[in-house]
Amino acid sequence: MKRKTGILLAGLATLGGAVAGAGLLHNRRADRREHLHVTVFSEPGYRGRNQRLTWTGGKREVVPLARVRLPRIGSIKLERLVYHFQPGVQLPNMLLLWHALTDRPDPGDPESGLPSFIAVHQLAGMFSVGEWLPVPEPEARSGVRLWAGRPGSPPAVRDDADPSGARPWHDVLADAPDLGSWSTRTRWLELRYHDRTGSRD
């Protein structure tokens, strides 16, 4: 039994180290996938009817205004979240684990299986997992591009632009309490990553 216990503990330590290393590596990656939550309001100042859209990163998502079911978009709130691992290994109580592996339960004693129950519970919870944390505004990579016409690739500036020659799109990279003329111009919303230069990715 001692040999099996040693092998089990060595395996747990190896697994714990692998989990901790992978978690730390994930946290340091600059390209971690953001989850973008977009709340669109029908009126400026975050008033009126509202709808919430969620994008989990990856391929851009194009949403027609009709799907939002609002007559117009007066204001927008953005929330970006990224998963942050908290790698850490909490080894279970060795005495309880030893008893769980070596003791045979006594059918006449209802508490004889208690060490096994506690040891299994400790094993299940020995790895901390993590949590979703907000992304600071300067580090955010996702946003919404509002389109006056159907998004194209590359964008058809000459076809979709208004008479003033303005771009056929407008990027929203932070909370926007008043979208101005884009409140009535917007026909499509594109949820995507951006590089803050206006180029498409």
Q: pLDDT digits over 26-80, tens only? A: 445 555 688 999 999 999 999 999 999 999 988 999 999 999 999 999 999 999 9
**Is 199 inside any structural domain?**
no
User: What's the average model confidence in pLDDT over 111-129?
Assistant: 66
Q: Which domain holds residue 54?
A: 2-87+130-193
- Same-domain check for residues 98 and 177: no
Domain identity same for 45 and 82: yes
The pLDDT of residue 123 is above 50: yes
Q: Distance between CA atoms of 180 and 184, rounded to whole angstroms?
A: 8
The rounded distance, in Å, linking the Cα atoms of 85 and 19 is 10
Q: Is residue 99 part of a domain?
A: yes
Pair 59, 101 in one domain: no
pLDDT of residue 168: 92
31/159 Cα distance (integer angstroms): 34
* HSE-up of residue 106 (Cα within 13 Å, Cβ side): 8
pLDDT band with cut points at 50, 70 and 90 for residue 159: very low
Q: Are residue 110 and residue 17 in the same domain, yes or no?
A: no
Based on the domain organization, do 7 and 28 belong to the same domain?
Answer: yes
Mean pLDDT of the chain: 76
